[in-house]
Amino acid sequence: MDFQFSDEQRMIIKLVRDFAAKEIAPTVQQRDEAEVFDRTIVDKLGELGLMGIFFPEEYGGGGGDYLSYILTNEELSRVDDSIACSYAASVSLCAWPIFAYGTEEQKQTYLVPLAEGTKLGAFGLTEPNAGTDSAGQQSHAEKKDGYYLLNGSKCFITNGGEADIYVVFAMTDKAKGTKGISAFVLEKGMPGFTFGKKEHKMGIHGSQTMELVFQDVKVPEKNLLGQEGKGFKIAMTSLDGGRIGVAAQALGIGQAALDAAVKYSKERVQFGKPICKFQGVSFMLADMATRLDAARLLIYRAACLKGAGLPFSKEAAMAKMYASDAAMSIATDAVQILGGYGYIREYDVERLMRNAKITQIYEGTNQVQKMVISGALLQ
């Protein structure tokens, strides 16, 4: 097993790290406090070729590998998980299903601008009474003459209101349960497609989360993604990959928290010596670093499996579950090491702890990941 990055991957790490330090870090605290999503940052990611990093060049992508996308997510999250969240929602949850299931016309119309970074994407599955239970969703699309009439709503949608292109799921045959779900590609501005309330969240304040509302939206039949009734498969395969992205976000958060804790412990002097010299602190740092590296290996394994076209659902669930739990634990310990300073907003670990929590929740809570893992073991 080769644990070395390729020259191209090292170049991408440096590119993203330098970009994040220059373009993201100076405003991260202000954007977090104001709860503002800065579209220009994501636009610049597009200019660097990162929005289509692992898609073929013929569709506006960079032709890179999937691990490079995960490394990008990790590096962005070390500085601002809000930007990484918006980035991942567009690349992994919107562009990827269009690439994997779309017609050639859909790829040219929607994937190309998403991969080039001239348009932003979003993924609309969750509803108030239908999160993990996708069959319980109330959004429905009735087939008419040449179009589908879509009605319903979606909640907790990352990039909602900001995105230009949306992959949306709705019932086309309620009697069939999950086999009656279909996927559609919608564009912002379609008549009847509007936005509800903007959510105010515990963390990831710099990523916009908004409700989608559909009132008699005429969706052209050509905007059906994949086959009618195959939407559940499209959603689940998209979420499988999305879990690796969330795990990478957790990894970036955990790394940032560990770095902050190490730095502070070397500078903070108590009883005549830096607090890192006390075993109570140094042992905490050792545990934090070990959990972080274990998470990193799980994530890179899942990413390499996906990139190679091999089964990866169980490994993605393991990576997401372990990495998000590790990030929450590491961020909490970092706050503890900084003491009172860790509890105030002047120091990054307060924000990192808030952001870490969402990684345990979205793309399926960690209880869902355990269902996926145990299901694979017991089949």
> Measured between alpha carbons, how far is 160 from 170 in angstroms, rounded to an integer?
17
Q: Please write the tens of the pLDDT for every residue from 245-263.
A: 999 999 999 999 999 999 9
Domain ends where: 201, 231, 261?
A: 231
Is the predicted pLDDT of residue 1 greater than 90, yes or no? Answer: no
Residues 362 and 240 in one domain: yes
Average pLDDT over residues 51-69: 96
Query: pTM of the full predicted structure?
Result: 0.95
> Measured between alpha carbons, how far is 186 from 218 in angstroms, rounded to an integer?
10
Is the predicted pLDDT of residue 2 greater than 80, yes or no? Answer: no
> Measured between alpha carbons, how far is 321 from 354 in angstroms, rounded to an integer?
17
| Sign of torsion over alpha carbons 247, 250, 255, 261 | negative
More confident residue, 147 or 131: 147
User: For helices 231-267 and 66-79, what crossing angle results, to 10°?
Assistant: 50
The CATH number covering residue 32 comes to 1.10.540.10
Contacts of 123 (CB under 8 A, 6+ apart): 89, 93, 94, 97, 157, 158, 166, 167, 238
Is the predicted pLDDT of residue 298 greater than 90, yes or no? Answer: yes
Owning domain of residue 249: 236-378
Name the residue among 242, 251, 259, 264 with its Cα closest to residue 328.
251
Is the predicted pLDDT of residue 357 greater than 70, yes or no? Answer: yes
Measured distance between the N- and C-terminal CA atoms of the chain, rounded to whole angstroms: 28
Is residue 2 in some structural domain?
Answer: no
More confident residue, 134 or 41: 41
- Residue 281 confidence (pLDDT): 97
Residues 28 and 133 in one domain: no
Is the predicted pLDDT of residue 96 greater than 90, yes or no? Answer: yes
Residues 294 and 207 in one domain: no
Instruction: Based on the residue annotation, tell me whether 363 is a catalytic residue of this protein.
Output: yes
Residues 96 and 204 in one domain: no
Residues 90 and 189 in one domain: no
Catalytic residue, from 127, 315, 350, 363: name it. Answer: 363
Residues 277 and 350 in one domain: yes
Q: How far is CA 133 from the centre of its chain?
A: 20
If one counts the domains in the chain, the total is 3
